[in-house]
Structure formats: C-alpha cells, structure tokens
C-alpha cells in the first residue's frame, strides 16, 4: 500500500460528499445520504467544526476516508473519539488502506489522550466486523443505540409545539 493519509481541506468537500454517497450505496442506505459539499464545508470546516476527516489517496486520487468526532466519557473522565465512517472504495480494498485509516484515527486518539475509540457497524457487515475484531475491537452487545431524528427531534426540542 502506497496510500497517503492526510487531513481533509475545505476544497475536499465535494470529494468527501462523493465518498459518502459511495458508502451509502455499499450500506444499502442510498435514500438516507443527503449530505452535500455545502453541508460538509459548513459543518466540517466552518467556525465550529462538528467532525474531522482524513483522506486516503493513491497517486493523488482519493480512495477512502475516515470521519470522526470528539466524545466524552463521564465514567472515565476522559475524551474519546467516535468513528462515524471508515470507507475504502471497493476496487482498493484488501491493500491495507482501511487499516491505515483506522491506525491514523487511533494515533490521533492517543495523541489527544482519549480513553477510547468507538464506532458502530451494521450487523450484516461480516467483512467489516471481522476486520474490526482482527484489530482488537470488541462489540458492545449490552448497549442499544437510540436515535431521535427529523420531525421527532424537532418535536422533542419543543420547536413544533403551538
């Protein structure tokens, strides 16, 4: 693997948006991929970045990315990182690029004195589950993820009440 791993720049927003769409296709969630380059520019590179992205490139061409953001563990009293996306284009898998991205995110976590690095994986994604286990990750079977989104989030915030 001769991939270069580097932090994303604002000019990478269209590339990141394309990679996110490719991930959505892989995960069979195309209908949920709404992110645009404008969204990403505003939320990744604006006044208050919500997340960070690193890109993997081969010969200057983007072939994968990792998107992550800070968390905090009250029990540990330490920050952590949550890996929202780790994706390598299908034609470039099996070359160590995914591992290089994961290692770089782990290095960032250690450099920032994080106590842990966490992520979610779809339960049908056996190749990714096997890969993550091979890297020392363990599933958190006793935890259930909850989500409030769209109109339910607006209603919970009291913004839709009259």
Phi, psi for residue 148 in degrees, rounded to 5? -125, 125
Please confirm, yes or no, whether 65 is among the known catalytic residues. Answer: no
Sign of the CA dihedral 138, 144, 149, 155?
Answer: negative
CA-wise closest residue to 116 among 93, 94, 89, 137:
137
| DSSP designation for 85 | E
Distance CA 49, CA 47 (A): 6
CA-wise closest residue to 17 among 55, 48, 46, 47:
55
Task: Considering the candidates 132, 138, 152, 159, report the single residue annotated as catalytic.
Answer: 132
Q: Which residues are catalytic?
A: 132
């Amino acid at each position: 693997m001769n991939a270069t791993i580097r932090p994303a720049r604002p000019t990478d927003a269209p590339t990141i948006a394309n990679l996110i769409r490719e991930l959505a296709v892989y995960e069979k969630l195309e209908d949920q991929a709404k992110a645009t380059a404008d969204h990403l520019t505003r939320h990744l590179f604006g006044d208050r970045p919500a997340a960070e992205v690193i890109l993997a490139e081969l010969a200057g061409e983007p072939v994968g990315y990792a998107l992550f953001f800070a968390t905090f563990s009250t029990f540990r009293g330490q920050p952590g990182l949550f890996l929202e996306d780790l994706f390598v284009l299908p034609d470039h898998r099996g070359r160590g690029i995914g591992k290089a991205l994961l290692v770089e995110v782990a290095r960032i976590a250690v450099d920032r004195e994080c106590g842990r690095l966490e992520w979610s994986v779809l339960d049908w994604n056996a190749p990714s589950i096997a890969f993550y286990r091979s890297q020392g990750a363990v599933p958190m079977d006793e935890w259930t993820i909850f989500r409030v989104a769209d109109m339910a989030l607006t209603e919970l915030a009291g913004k839709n009440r009259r």
